[in-house]
């Protein structure tokens, strides 16, 4: 069957999806906002349809416009990319109601993963390690629980979703007031004053496992990535594999991810995220990202698997063409997110016209980007300009290759994060692989002030 | 050439309910060319669907006509050459006007959202407006349907409808030109 894929996204990931469709022989229709009619993806798509105005709510988040456009242009499936509509159960349902295949997991799986506490309960139910924590009702219970977990702890309403109303408590003195607030909020919002406490791990690495499932009950993992270099929960540098993991912990990590995939009868690509407490050598389940990830190329680099291709085939009903035993890892890959953000000014966005765009070209490098010289970088969306990926036989060689790529990368017209990326890569903490998720938050100012040696 | 007579009859029936001036259908070596308004070009023209211009209405929702590939020609043109962009003239009188080069004293009405274009309130009813109709700023010109939600599009300016750029049942994109209104008196 010949498929026509509606690409409901923009930027570099739209280019990536179109490229994968082209190689599969699928035609493509790209939905764009009026601000994105001249993008690289718009030039490469089989057909371009203007969904609405520049604001995401009028275009990329406008579910009705996306589904209407997909149906009217004869598409068989919708690829949501990442962000925008990719994790919305209502959108997956709307696609299904209109005969479109949603390139992602089922609405039920999306719903189960949409709320961190539900996802945590799911993890616990299949014996996947979670961070120390639990629920409590009275002040006395809360104090006992906090003592057992150890400070600092996060406290929040036990029912209801998201990180809303989450409070950080660093000592017993702060606990009473934080508990009262969280409990009152829980009572008001959900009619149940139960609160949830969780250990706040301050010094952990972010590790995540790539999973892939088909509609025939097959599921595999494609190893792990490490994404500890983050700024306010925004990943900046990623790599695969995580070199800091002892082998038994890595085996537990992969097995845990597969247990979760199994519990959800997971279809398509997903990422199971964990925190890895290096000192305790402990893993704690965080959440599942039920979609293609920005950092998927590092996994592709070390496994040789085209993840977008496999994601499309699996969600369209094809059985996986390989099993777990066929997947082997080779070498090490690093990805740097090049963004239009000013590292000298708290990573403030800096849209504008890209007057110069001259990437490095060398062996072992890959660049995923939608930027070209003369492109007007719009102010309405995220600041990602491109992803530089470097692969080499081991971590040190991959870092060296990346440093070369970044040193030769020449961008003009907009302020970018390149100087920051160069300093991170050159930093002894990064090179020694001791970076944890709070490292960049604390070091950003120092990092930009210091000279690179 | 193998023509299924039942299919052909169904096509003719649909055409009879539809406003058009020129209809070209090609599939393999089958080629059906139907044209209203006097000039009959060479080739098979099996339909005699003829209705007085201006009274025809829209049933295209049920059977959308093949879009751009068979874009109609201005009424006087002979055999199909290169299709004119955005010149699907249900009323046959847009004077070859292009939304990209609007004459002075004209204003464009564009789609306020992406959706399916309907020129009439309901299938089988007369169109809201025809070329030549006088409209007020608050006159409803068409409906754009998005996922079963009907959205009325108003003229926004008073004047006379000078051109209609889309056909019933067309997917119209956000800000796609729908009508031209001659505003100058």
Chain A residues touching B113 at Cβ < 8 A: 52, 65
Length of chain B as a residue count: 185
Chain B residues touching A78 at Cβ < 8 A: none
Say if strands A101-102 and A77-79 run parallel, antiparallel, or are unpaired.
parallel
Q: How far apart are CA B169 and CA A256, in angstroms?
A: 51
DSSP for A73-90, please give it.
TT-SEEE--SSTTTT-HH
| A49 at B interface, C-beta within 8 A | yes
Per-residue tokens: B157: 């300016």
Asked if A423 and A372 count as a contact pair (C-beta separation under 8 A), the reply is no
Residue of A258 and B87 predicted with greater confidence: A258
Element containing residue A95 per DSSP (H, E)? helix A89-97
Interface A–B counts its CB contacts (< 8 A) at 41
Q: How far apart are CA B5 and CA A440, in angstroms?
A: 73
Interface confidence, given as ipTM, is: 0.77
Length of chain A as a residue count: 453
Beta bridge partners of A288: A272
Query: If you compute the radius of gyration of chain B from its CA atoms, what whole number of angstroms results?
Result: 16
pLDDT in tens, chain A (453 residues): 689 999 999 999 999 999 999 999 999 999 999 999 999 999 999 999 999 999 999 999 999 999 999 999 999 999 999 999 999 999 999 999 999 999 999 999 998 887 777 888 899 999 999 988 888 888 899 999 999 998 999 888 776 544 556 788 999 999 988 888 888 887 877 777 888 888 888 789 999 999 999 999 999 999 999 999 998 888 999 999 999 999 999 999 999 999 999 999 999 999 999 999 998 899 999 999 999 999 999 999 999 999 999 999 999 999 999 999 999 999 999 999 999 999 988 888 998 999 999 999 999 999 999 999 999 989 899 999 999 999 999 999 999 999 999 999 999 999 999 999 999 999 999 999 999 998 998 888 777 776 544
| B176 at A interface, C-beta within 8 A | yes
Asked if A210 and A273 count as a contact pair (C-beta separation under 8 A), the reply is no
Using CB atoms within 10 A of its CB, is residue A298 exposed (0-12), middle (13-18) or buried (19+)?
A: buried
In the set A219, A291, A395, A423, the catalytic residue is: A291
Asked if B144 and B151 count as a contact pair (C-beta separation under 8 A), the reply is yes
Give the distance from residue A107's alpha carbon to the nearest chain B alpha carbon, in angstroms.
20
Instruction: Answer yes or no: do B149 and A64 touch at CB < 8 A.
Output: yes
- Residue-wise pLDDT for B53-79, tens only, equals 333 333 333 333 333 333 333 333 333
Q: How far apart are CA A253 and CA A276, in angstroms?
A: 10
| B174 at A interface, C-beta within 8 A | yes
Q: How far apart are CA B147 and CA A170, in angstroms?
A: 50
User: How much is the pTM?
Assistant: 0.80
Preceding peptide of A152 cis, ω within 30°: yes
- Residue-wise pLDDT for A109-157, tens only, equals 998 887 777 888 899 999 999 988 888 888 899 999 999 998 999 888 7
* Closest residue by Cα to residue A91 from A8, A208, A215: A8
Cα–Cα distances in Å, from B184 out to B100, B138, B139, B153, B164?
Answer: 19, 17, 17, 21, 18
| B45 at A interface, C-beta within 8 A | no
- Closest chain A residue to the Cα of B176, Cα to Cα: A50
Find which of B61, B69, B147, B170 to mutate to test the A interface (most A CBs within 10 Å of its CB): B147
Active-site residue flag, A291: yes
* Per-residue confidence (pLDDT) for residue A284, from 0 to 100: 95
Asked if A290 and A211 count as a contact pair (C-beta separation under 8 A), the reply is no
| A68 at B interface, C-beta within 8 A | yes
* Per-residue confidence (pLDDT) for residue A383, from 0 to 100: 93
């Amino acid at each position: 069957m010949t498929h026509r894929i509606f690409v409901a996204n923009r930027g570099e990931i739209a280019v990536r999806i179109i490229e994968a469709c082209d190689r599969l022989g699928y035609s493509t229709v790209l939905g764009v906002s009026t601000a994105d009619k001249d993008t690289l993806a718009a030039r490469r798509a089989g057909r371009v349809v203007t969904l609405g105005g520049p604001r995401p709510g009028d275009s990329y988040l406008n579910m009705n416009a996306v589904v209407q456009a997909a149906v009217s242009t004869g598409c068989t499936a919708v690829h949501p990319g990442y962000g925008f509509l990719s994790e919305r159960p209502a959108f997956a349902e709307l696609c299904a109601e209109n005969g479109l295949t949603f390139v992602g997991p089922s609405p039920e799986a999306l719903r189960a993963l949409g709320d961190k506490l539900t996802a945590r309960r799911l993890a616990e139910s299949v014996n996947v390690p979670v961070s120390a924590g639990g629920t409590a009702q009275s002040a006395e219970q809360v104090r006992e629980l906090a003592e057992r977990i150890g400070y600092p702890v996060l406290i929040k309403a036990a029912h209801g979703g998201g990180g809303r109303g989450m409070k950080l408590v660093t000592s017993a003195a702060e606990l009473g007031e934080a508990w009262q607030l969280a409990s009152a909020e829980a009572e008001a919002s959900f009619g149940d004053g139960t609160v949830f406490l969780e250990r706040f791990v301050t010094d952990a690495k972010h590790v995540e496992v790539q999973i892939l499932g088909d509609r025939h009950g097959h599921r595999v993992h494609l190893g792990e990535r490490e994404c500890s270099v983050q700024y306010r929960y925004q990943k900046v540098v990623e790599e695969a594999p995580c070199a800091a993991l002892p082998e038994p912990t890595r085996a537990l990590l992969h097995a845990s991810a597969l247990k979760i995939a199994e519990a959800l009868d997971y279809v398509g690509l997903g990422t199971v995220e964990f925190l890895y407490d290096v000192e305790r050598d402990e893993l704690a389940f965080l959440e599942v990202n039920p979609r293609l990830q920005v950092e998927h190329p590092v996994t592709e680099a070390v496994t040789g698997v085209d993840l977008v291709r496999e994601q499309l085939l699996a969600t369209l009903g094809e059985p996986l063409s390989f099993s777990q035993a066929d997947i082997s890892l080779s070498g090490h890959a690093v990805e740097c997110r090049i963004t239009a953000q000013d590292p000298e000014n708290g990573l403030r966005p800096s849209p504008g016209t890209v007057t110069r765009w001259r990437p490095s070209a060398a062996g072992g490098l890959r660049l995923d980007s939608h930027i070209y010289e003369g492109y007007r970088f719009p102010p309405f969306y995220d600041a990602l300009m491109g992803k530089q990926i470097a692969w080499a036989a081991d971590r040190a060689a991959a870092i060296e290759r990346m440093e070369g790529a970044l040193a030769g990368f020449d961008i003009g017209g907009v302020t970018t994060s390149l100087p920051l990326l160069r300093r991170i890569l050159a930093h002894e903490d990064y090179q020694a692989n001791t970076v944890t998720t709070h490292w960049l938050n604390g070091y950003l100012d120092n990092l930009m002030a210091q000279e690179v040696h | 050439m193998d023509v299924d007579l039942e299919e052909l009859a169904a096509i003719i029936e649909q055409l009879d309910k539809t406003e058009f001036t020129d209809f070209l259908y090609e599939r393999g070596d089958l080629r059906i060319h139907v044209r209203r308004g006097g000039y009959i070009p060479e080739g098979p023209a099996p339909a005699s669907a003829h209705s007085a211009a201006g009274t025809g209405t829209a049933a295209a929702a049920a059977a959308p006509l093949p879009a751009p590939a068979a874009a109609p020609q201005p009424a006087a043109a002979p055999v199909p050459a290169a299709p004119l962009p955005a010149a699907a003239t249900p009323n046959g009188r847009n004077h070859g006007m292009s939304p990209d080069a609007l004459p002075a004293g004209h204003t464009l009405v564009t789609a306020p959202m992406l959706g399916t274009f309907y020129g009439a309130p309901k299938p089988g009813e007369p169109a809201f407006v025809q070329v030549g109709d006088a409209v007020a700023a608050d006159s409803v010109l068409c409906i754009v349907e998005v996922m079963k939600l009907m959205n009325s599009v108003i003229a926004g300016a008073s004047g006379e409808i000078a051109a209609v750029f889309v056909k019933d049942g067309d997917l119209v994109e956000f800000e796609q030109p729908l009508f031209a209104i001659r505003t100058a008196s």
